[in-house]
Amino acid sequence: MARLGPNRYGKSAVRVVKVERSGDRHVLRDATVAIALEGQFEAAHLGGDNRAVLPTDTMKNTVYALARDGYTGSPEAFALHLARHFLEHPAPVTQVRIRIAEALWSRIEKHGKPHPSAFLRAGTEQRLARVDASHTGMTVHGGINDLLVLKTTDSAFEGFIRDQFTTLPDTSDRVLATAIRALWRYRTDPADYSGCWHTARSAILETFADHESRSVQHTLYAMGESVLAACDDVDEVRFVLPNRHHLPVDLSRLGLENRNDIFVATREPYGRIEAVVRRS
């Protein structure tokens, strides 16, 4: 009466920190890895036969083991290394997804000089890498998560549809804030994933800063265009942008005028804008 549909399993939230001590300056890498496998796992589901099942505990150990010699550069390269390992495994795996989120650390400075072995978390932002691998090919994504940005001018929202439930006034000058999530797909293998990442991130930030925004959608699209223009190796980028509303406080009820300078930052509800921008 029942049958098994699409399924996958794996280990999430595997945290591995690597310290490279080879030179005078230590290098710090801080990754949270998630692994998901698809394959011939029907016997485990239907009959409790585990002979084809690679334990998720082993996946965790594999992250630690392969990080030792294989996490020496970009998270994309490490994700590719992990993906190949699981694809070549005796377990009946047909599809592997590796996701890595790197926490970003900068060096503590003293008199403007960066310290060789002491670090400070740089922002709430994470660098993302994702690899989807099967026996017929690999797809690589790079990205950004939770990059908090805010602009205090050059953002409007007006001329929208109004219905019986619309109370929002048109505004030609609002505060715009969001937590950028962007994931871009590589169409070719870039020589330098980290270089690409910095290029894409700068394109996104500079466009956010300079754009004459008429809506979140409008700025999302402009940021996508700028990534495609800056990164030849990328063929599409997907954004998820929560609108972190900053509402002008109605000071008139308090006997004061709000000179467009006092806002309340709200967490919920929030607008959520999501789109893919593609190379045509």
Q: Which residues are catalytic?
A: 11, 56, 245
Closest CA to 89 of 135, 129, 50, 48: 135
- Cα separation, 231 vs 42, in Å, equals 42
Compute the radius of gyration of the chain from its Cα atoms: 23
Q: Is position 137 an interface residue for a copy of itself (rule: CB under 8 A)? A: no
Selected binder of a copy of itself within 40, 124, 189, 232 (CB under 8 A): 124
- Cα separation, 193 vs 233, in Å, equals 10
Closest CA to 103 of 165, 145, 58, 72: 145
CB-based contact 18:59 (threshold 8 Å): no
Q: Is position 272 an interface residue for a copy of itself (rule: CB under 8 A)? A: yes
Selected binder of a copy of itself within 138, 139, 214, 230 (CB under 8 A): 214
Selected binder of a copy of itself within 26, 84, 139, 230 (CB under 8 A): 26
Considering only the stretches 76-84, 133-141, 189-197, 219-227, report the one whose residues sit in contact with a copy of itself under the rule CB under 8 A. 219-227
Q: Is position 117 an interface residue for a copy of itself (rule: CB under 8 A)? A: yes
Q: Is position 108 an interface residue for a copy of itself (rule: CB under 8 A)? A: yes
- Cα separation, 74 vs 186, in Å, equals 14
Give me the residues paired with residue 145 across strands: 126
First to last CA, the chain: 46
Q: How many Cα atoms occupy the beta-carbon half-sphere of 131 within 13 Å?
A: 25
Q: Which is nearer to a copy of itself, 140 or 220 (CB)?
A: 220
Q: Is the peptide bond prior to 269 cis by the omega test (within 30 degrees of 0)?
A: yes
Q: Is position 73 an interface residue for a copy of itself (rule: CB under 8 A)? A: no
Selected binder of a copy of itself within 70, 77, 145, 154 (CB under 8 A): 154
Site for a copy of itself in 45-64 (CB under 8 A): 45-58, 60-62, 64
Q: What is the dihedral of CA 208, 213, 215, 221, to 10 degrees?
A: -50
Considering only the stretches 73-81, 130-138, 187-195, 210-218, report the one whose residues sit in contact with a copy of itself under the rule CB under 8 A. 210-218
Q: Is position 84 an interface residue for a copy of itself (rule: CB under 8 A)? A: no
Tokens of 198: 């910095």
Contacts with a copy of itself by CB under 8 A: the residue count is 138
Q: Which is nearer to a copy of itself, 136 or 166 (CB)?
A: 166
Q: Is position 188 an interface residue for a copy of itself (rule: CB under 8 A)? A: no
Considering only the stretches 128-136, 137-145, 190-198, 238-246, report the one whose residues sit in contact with a copy of itself under the rule CB under 8 A. 238-246
